[in-house]
Amino acid sequence: MPTSVTRIFAAQKQAEDLAQVASEILPLDEVSVAVSETKPDDPLWRVDIYAGPNITPANLEREVRAALGQKIAGLDVQSEVIEDADWVAASLAGLDPVPAGRFLVHGAHDAGRVPKNAHGIQVEAALAFGTGHHGTTKGCLMAFDGLLKQTRPRKILDLGTGTGVLAIAAAKALGHGVLGSDIDRTSVTIARANAALNRVADRVRIVHANGLGHPYIRGNSPYDLVFANILAGPLVRLAPGIARSVRLGGHVILSGLLTHQERQVRAAYRTQGLLPVKKRVLDNWVTLTLRRGPV
């Protein structure tokens, strides 16, 4: 299925800020936003804004320019249609496997390089957020690896699952069912495909949901562990709902926030009785492990 994409090129800090703003204010439904390096050691980073087949590249760019206004004045902005198959082939080509504790995220070209003592997670799609090559996904995997040394959570929710990496990791490490959700239908499709690719489709259920309102999400709470690898704005807005979804003594692993956003996110969760027990910073992205205590 063809997908429209608008790309904005900017320095790292500006690109990260633009991705945050775009994810919060774009008026379009089912828009995915990702930020990444253009190539190693290049000062320019890239913000990719994807929309489904019902919007043309020209209309997508028009919406992006209207939403971001002066924030992107003078920046290189490009829009085009991409075919899923072509994008998938290009997205992971040449990328090295990503180790994160007991996990190794890789493409098909590195399937033979997974150590026997590691949980290999094969990812072949990048139209959804989270291939493991980004500091947020790797940070969450490392946080989860650390948490598994202390506890074995039974009920797990991966909120904003993207490619499904975290849900797949949990299903592989623990051997039981995991629930994932995403607001973006493309991400839901990709996460389900990746679960099947990794032979955990019978243990990973992915639902299309906006926030925590889906009946299946509500019906399975409270959870022992909630992953929320999204962005700082949604993390703050969802703090009360996430707190209600976690059992007393349960954990939340948060990422998608930059170092300068950490204080705001911590405060939002502290007021809900979720206190930090571990922090990791990778490439200016923060991952927090929180534990729910009494408010």
Nearest to residue 49, comparing CAs of 69, 75, 22? 22
pLDDT of residue 35: 77
pLDDT of residue 127: 46
Residue 12: CA count within 13 A, CB half-sphere: 10
pLDDT of residue 85: 45
pLDDT of residue 41: 67
Question: Angle at Cα 35 formed by Cα 96 and Cα 264, nearest 5°?
Answer: 115
Instruction: Name the burial class of residue 223, with classes exposed (0-12), middle (13-18) and buried (19+) by CB atoms within 10 angstroms of its CB.
Output: buried
Query: Does the predicted TM-score (pTM) go above 0.75?
Result: no
Dist CA 266 CA 275 (whole Å): 8
Q: Residue type for 293, please?
A: G
Say how many Å lie between the first and final Cα of the chain, rounded: 47
Give the pair of three-digit tokens for residue 246.
């976690």
Q: Residues at the annotated binding site for S-adenosyl-L-methionine?
A: 137, 160, 182, 229
Which residue segments constitute the domains of the chain, with CATH numbers given? 2-86 (3.30.70.120), 127-292 (3.40.50.150)
pLDDT of residue 51: 80
Kindly give the confidence (pLDDT) of every residue in the chain, 295 residues in length, as a single tens digit, with 9 standing for 90 and above: 667 889 999 998 898 888 888 877 776 556 777 777 777 667 888 888 888 677 889 999 999 999 899 999 999 999 998 765 454 454 445 456 778 889 988 877 667 777 788 898 988 644 445 555 567 889 999 999 999 999 999 999 999 998 899 999 999 999 999 999 998 887 888 899 899 999 999 999 999 999 999 999 999 999 999 999 988 889 999 999 999 999 999 999 999 988 889 999 999 999 999 999 999 998 888 999 999 987 6
Dist CA 34 CA 19 (whole Å): 7
Nearest to residue 265, comparing CAs of 235, 241, 295? 235
Q: Residues at the annotated binding site?
A: 137, 160, 182, 229
pLDDT of residue 30: 62
